Amino acid sequence: MADDTDALFGLILFILFLALLGYAAGGMGSSPSSAGPTSATTQSLPPLSGDAVASCPDTFTPAKRGTDGLLTLQVYVDPADPGRKCATASTTSSGTLKVTLAYTAEQTQMVSNTASCQTTGQNCMTSVLVSGTDDYCVSAVADKPATSASPGDMVTISRVVEPCSMVPAMQPTDPWPDSTVRADDLEDEEGY
pLDDT one-digit tens code per residue, 89-146: 999 888 899 999 999 888 888 999 999 988 888 899 999 999 988 888 899 999 988 7
Work out the pLDDT band at 80, boundaries 50, 70, 90.
very high
Model pLDDT, residue 190? 44
For residue range 40-53, what is the model confidence (pLDDT) as tens digits? 334 578 888 999 99
49-161 sits in which CATH class? mainly beta
Q: Give the global pTM.
A: 0.62
Burial of 127 (C-beta count, 10 Å sphere; 0-12/13-18/19+): buried
